[in-house]
Structure 1
Amino acid sequence: MLEVKMKKKLSHYELHVDFYVDNEILVLFGPSGSGKTTILDSIAGLMQPDAGVIRMDERIFYGQDVHSMPAQARNIGYLFQDYALFPHMTVEKNIHYGVKKNVGKSDLVISQLLDVLGIQHLLQKYPHQISGGEKQRVALARALATEPSVLLLDEPLSALDKETRIECQSELLRLHALWQIPFIIVTHDFEEAERLGHRILFLEAGEIVERIDSMDSC
């Protein structure tokens, strides 16, 4: 279970949140500038809170009285809004980037991801040669290929057309059912939040103003 209790002084307010995530999909929903990406960056180790604790089971990522764990040691998958694929690498090399575990086991994991996401035929292409939906699937495969303990997704579907977006929502649900790790997703689309989230946290100006269980997620 991931536990997040943190404060962070931002330009117009102080972010102050307290929540947990089990092996479920948690959606952070709210207007731009409400602190959603700051929360993801703090969990990933790309940003340092001012106070609090971020803990995954017994592993402390951040604590006031302990040394902050480096980002690369946290075993967190992060899918950025623009996917951040390396343009000079093929799809295959992008997916394998960062994989450092047992090669045989990693090959099995990647093979499973290629099958579930239907991107086997893209392996020798470059990012500029594939569509937005295909880039999203490749980025998901790369994020999961390292077998992370948590997956963070910052508006991963916002650039896609409606049909592709719905398809990718289904893939996210299928991948979560397969992986059974905490997923934290940032979105501005409430229909998407209801479909994907087991729980939804509504944020405004750095505060959680409402918490709901989504009855539509599966």
Structure 2
Amino acid sequence: MADPIIQIEKLSKQFVSGKQTKKVLENVNLTINPGEFISIIGPSGCGKSTLLRIMGGLDTDYEGSVYFENGPIKGPGRERGFIFQDHRLLPWLTVEENIKFSLPESTENVEKIIVENLEIVGLQDVRKAYPKQLSGGMAQRVSIARALSNQPKILLLDEPFGALDAITKMHLQEEMLRLWEMEQITMIIVTHDIEEAVYLGQRVIVMDTQPGRIKQSYNIEQSIPRSRVSPEFHRQKDKIYKEFFEEKLQTFYYTI
């Protein structure tokens, strides 16, 4: 079996503000294997986005160990692509210029890279357009093409579809599954949407809060192609809801 692509051991993280200290993550242990599609879900404030930022090297102030391919993560790297909720395209650059801007100056065959990655997301016809000329879904697809242009081994997605309408969101979920199957990239998505987590993930990591910790890990069995209306899909979605979120709701209503 291949070595893990991400290995997290005894990870804890706290934020200090003045005299106050808030523990965000506590004793998180997680192994992610190459080629997996992992969904991380949990309530607001459980530290799931912080966990993703640590895996991406965007936050290095923590206790414990986080490894990428057996080496400690010391900062951001092009082998780990990051896609945020907002597309973060530079508005004064065209689509192709945004992709080119993300590449190292020493990159060869830049034109080929731009064309190939825009073709992957189906946007080869808008390469001369500016971000303001794109819909929200199209702009997010450009951000995906931009991340893919660096040939990452892993894509980290922080609620990338949260600001989109329902139809566009479903379409881009299908796109991500297609990319995952085609490119064989490890993908980790943070989401607050149970249905999205189950539909995309091979494994769903459920986090608890105060402080953030992993509560449960579910292996998801899906038919190929995946179906949002299959009994198996709804069974697995309902299992996560009943075993975690209903417990939270019961606690809430009991305390009021």
TM over 0.5: yes
Correspondences of 1:8-23 after superposition (within 5 Å): 8-10=13-15, 11-16=21-26, 17-22=28-33, 23=35
Q: How does 1:149-160 map to 2 (within 5 A)?
A: 149-160=153-164
Q: CA deviation at 1:102?
A: 4.0
Q: Which consecutive unaligned segments of at least 5 residues does structure 1 have? A: 62-68
- For 1:58, the aligned partner's letter is N
Give the superposition deviation at 1:97.
2.1
TM-score (normalizing by structure 1): 0.89
Q: 1:94 to 1:31 in 2, by over 3 A?
A: same
Cα distance, 1:169–1:14 mapped onto 2, change above 3 Å? closer
Contact in 2 for aligned 1:195/1:217 (Cα 8 Å): no
CA distance in 2, matches of 1:34, 1:213: 21
Q: Distance in 2 between matches of 1:45 and 1:54?
A: 9
The answer to whether the aligner puts 1:175 opposite 2:179 as a matched pair is yes
- The amino acid across from 1:151 in the alignment is L
1:103 is aligned with what amino acid? E
Deviates more, 1:51-60 or 1:187-196: 51-60
User: 1:77 touches 1:144 (CA, 8 Å); kept in 2?
Assistant: yes
1:164-210 deviation digits (Å, cap 9, x = unpaired):
11110011011111221221101111111111001110111111111
Contact 2:78 2:150 in 1 (8 A): no
CA distance in structure 2 between the partners assigned to 1:217 and 1:41 by the alignment: 31
With over 3 angstroms needed to count, the CA separation of the structure-2 counterparts of 1:138 and 1:39, relative to structure 1, is same
Q: Is 1:28 matched with 2:40?
A: yes
Give CA deviations for 1:27-46 in whole Å, capped at 9, x if unaligned: 11011111011011111222
Report the 3-state secondary structure (helix = DSSP H, G, I; strand = E; otherwise coil) of the residue aligned with 2:92.
coil
| TM-score normalised per structure 2 | 0.76
CA contact (8 A) 1:197 1:217 kept: no
Deviation track 1:39-87 (CA, whole Å, cap 9, x = no partner) reads 11111222124211111223221xxxxxxx232x463110011111111
4+ residue stretches of structure 1 with deviation over 6 A? Answer: none
Q: Shift of the alpha carbon at 1:147?
A: 0.8
**Partner residue of 2:8?**
4
* Structure 2 residue aligned with 1:66: none
Alpha-carbon distance in structure 2 between the residues aligned to 1:146 and 1:138: 13
Contact 2:120 2:145 in 1 (8 A): no
Confirm or deny that 1:58 pairs with 2:70.
yes
- The alpha-carbon distance between structure 1 residues 135 and 77, as it changes in their structure 2 partners (threshold 3 A), is same
Partner SS, residue 208 of structure 1: strand
Question: Could you say which structure has the greater relative contact order, defined with CA pairs below 8 angstroms and 6 or more residues apart?
Answer: 1
Distance 1:15 1:131 in 2: 36
Paired residue type of 2:159: E
Deviation at 1:114, TM superposition (A): 1.5
Bigger Rg over Cα: 2
AA matched with 2:102: G
Check whether the contact 2:158–2:191 (CA below 8 A) recurs between aligned residues: yes
Deviation digits for residues 119-168 of structure 1, max 9, x if unmatched?
01111111111101101100100111111122110000111111111110
Q: Residues 122-141 of structure 1 correspond to what in structure 2 (within 5 A)?
A: 122-141=126-145
AA in 2 matched with 1:13: K
In structure 2, do the counterparts of structure 1 residues 110 and 213 end up closer, same or farther at CA, with 3 Å as the change threshold? Answer: farther
